[in-house]
Every structure is written in structure tokens, then in C-alpha cells.
Amino acid sequence: MISTESQLEEILSRPRDGDKTAMAEMDGDLLILGIGGKMGPSLARLAVRAAQEADVRRRVIGVARFSEAGIQKELSDAGVETIAADLLDAKKLAGLPNAKNVIFMAGRKFGSTGAESLTWAMNVLLPAMVAERYRDSRIVAFSSGNIYPFVPVVSGGATEQTPVGPVGEYALTVLGRERIFEHFSGLYGTPVTLLRLNYAIDLRYGVLLDIGQKVYDRQPVDLKMGAANVIWQGDANSVCLRSFALTNSPPAVLNLTGPETVSVRWIAKRFGEHFGVEPALEGIESENALLNNATRCHRIFGYPSVSVEQMIEWTAEWIRTGGATLNKPTHFEARDGKF
């Protein structure tokens, strides 16, 4: 079991052989923009550890506002070069170091409703600024499965060939992000990979925590979004590092999630078994859901190393023992696209 945040961070950032190979074969340094979010710190630690274990010298540089106390120092202590900057400040962006490899993680989702203009600025304007500034780099940019329409639960999920159909203004801005990177890739020949992610699991955050916490607190679990996809954050970070090998112009597109379409009802019942309670279930499952088929990702990079059952077990113990959380519900059950 995972009992402490330091143990969790160690596991999330533990390199696989493929990560070491990716860092060894990476030409130049790695710049992570928007490093201060949910995935950025563990991704940066993974990159540093993979480079060290591959015995290669590779600068890993992370940029964010670092509004949350302590993260910048923790990253610096882990060997990440950190720069505090507002990426929407054109002068600050221009002053950042050059890097041959850029991971774009900056974005805005929660709080979008009521502050739509800032969401458009972060999700569409900023990618344009970054794509211009780092036109000569390779770019791996995080996107989201939210750009897809709801698909039948029995379909296996949307593939990379499924026509986009974003629901809600946030999802429109994510599609805008992709289109911007696509445009500048075509304009400058910038090699890009777009990672359409649904949903990364960290014991402090994620769909499983949302459901498990409700079961533990004897609160009703909404079944209207009756199924979801999940992937261990460490596995998602690993794919991110290795996907520089896929960068192309026009951009390569890759769905990133676990292999299963997981029933929300089943997840709630499994948590109920761990906690010794009967979960309260509310509503009826819809015939469609926001689902992402990552078959191509698994064919290229292999199956995730952590199973859904393992993630549920770890999360249940984390909840039971009062583990720290980010206090940021995913709102994965939202069917109106409002976050």
C-alpha cells in the first residue's frame, strides 16, 4: 500500500526502461511549460530520474507561476531547474531558455464557467504564443478526450479517427488548442504530438478518488455518466516522455488512457466492498458517455503497468487513512460540458 505522499511521488516518478531510453535518445534539453499542475511535478521528477539512470546529462526546466507554496523548492531539490513566470506575459515567455524539446501542460478547465475569457486565453491564445516562440522545437502538448462527442458505452470509445464534437465551451477551447498547434506546425514544420488524455489517476485527485470519497462519506454517486476511462498518472507521464518519438508535422494525435471502459456502478461497488458499506447510487446510466479508445497507444507503448483494480485498492486505503487530496473534484459526471 501507498501510505505517504513521498512514497506516492517516488512511485509516480519511477522510470521504466522506455523512459530511460527516451531521455537517452532525446537530443537537447527538456522544457516543461505549466509544470505546477496536477501532473507536472511527477512528470518532471520522472524525466530527471530517467536521465540520471540512463547516465545522460539532460537539463529539465520547469516553468509555472508556482502560486502553491512549496512546489518550486521541492522540484528544485529533485534536480529540476525552475522558473517562476506567467506564460501569458509575452516578455516573460520570450525570455525563457531555448529548448529542443517542449512539453506543453498549461491550461485551464475548472472555473471555466463564469470566466470563459480567461479559459480561451489560456487554452487558445497561449498555445499560439508558445507555438510561435518554440517553432524550432519538438512539442508534445496535452489535449483532452473532451474534444470528442459522447459515444455509445458499448462502442469501445472514440478513436483518433472519430470526428470531433466538443460539448461545452471548455471543450471548444481544447479543440482550439489543437487547431492552433496544427496551424503553426503546418506554418513552420514544427514536429508536434497531441495527447488526448482521459483521465489520469493520482491518489490525491481523479475519478476514482471522487467516487471512492462519496462512497466512504455515504454520499450518492451519480450514475448518469455511467462509464469512464482511467490511467495511472505514472503510466500517462511515461507515454508523454516517449511520445517525442512520434512528433510530426502535421501533428501526430494519440489517445491516452487505460484499456478498459469502466462502469461507474462497478467502481462504486468495489469501493463499497473495501469500506464495508453499500454505496448509494443515484440516477440511471445513459447509453453514451465521454470515452476514449487508446488501442493505438497501447500498441505502440504497451499496456499500462497499474491496473484499475490496483488503483481502486490504493485509493481506498488512501481515503481510509485520511491521505492528503488536492480538493479538486474532476466533475467527470458533467454531461453539459460546464466545469
In a domain, 336, yes or no: no
In a domain, 324, yes or no: no
In a domain, 312, yes or no: no
Q: How far apart are CA 61 and CA 177, in angstroms?
A: 22
- Domain of 144: which CATH number? 3.40.50.720
In a domain, 39, yes or no: yes
Q: How far apart are CA 259 and CA 164, in angstroms?
A: 21
pTM flag (> 0.85): yes
Q: Where in the sequence is the domain holding 51, given as residue range(s)?
A: 5-200+233-259+293-304
Instruction: Give me the pLDDT at residue 109, please.
Output: 79
Q: How far apart are CA 302 and CA 208, in angstroms?
A: 23
Where b means 16+ CB within 10 Å and e means fewer, 177-202 reads bbebbbebbeeeebbbbbbbbbbbbb
In a domain, 116, yes or no: yes
Instruction: Give me the pLDDT at residue 172, please.
Output: 96
Instruction: Give me the pLDDT at residue 337, please.
Output: 84
Instruction: Give me the pLDDT at residue 112, please.
Output: 61
N-term to C-term CA, the chain: 32
pLDDT tens, N- to C-terminus, the chain (339 residues): 899 999 999 999 999 999 999 999 999 999 999 999 999 999 999 999 999 999 999 999 999 999 887 999 999 999 999 999 999 999 999 999 999 999 999 998 766 677 889 999 999 999 999 999 999 999 999 999 999 999 999 999 999 999 999 999 999 999 999 999 999 999 999 999 999 999 999 999 999 999 999 999 999 999 999 999 999 999 999 999 999 999 999 999 999 999 999 999 999 999 999 999 999 999 999 999 999 999 999 999 999 999 999 999 999 999 999 999 998 889 899 898 887
Instruction: Taking the CA atoms of 66, 33, 326 and 336 in sequence, report the sign of the dihedral they define.
Output: positive
Look at residues 293, 291, 308 and name the one whose alpha carbon lies nearest to residue 255.
293
The count of structural domains within the chain is 1
Instruction: Give me the pLDDT at residue 110, please.
Output: 63
Burial zone of 46 (CB within 10 Å; 0-12 exposed, 13-18 middle, 19+ buried): buried
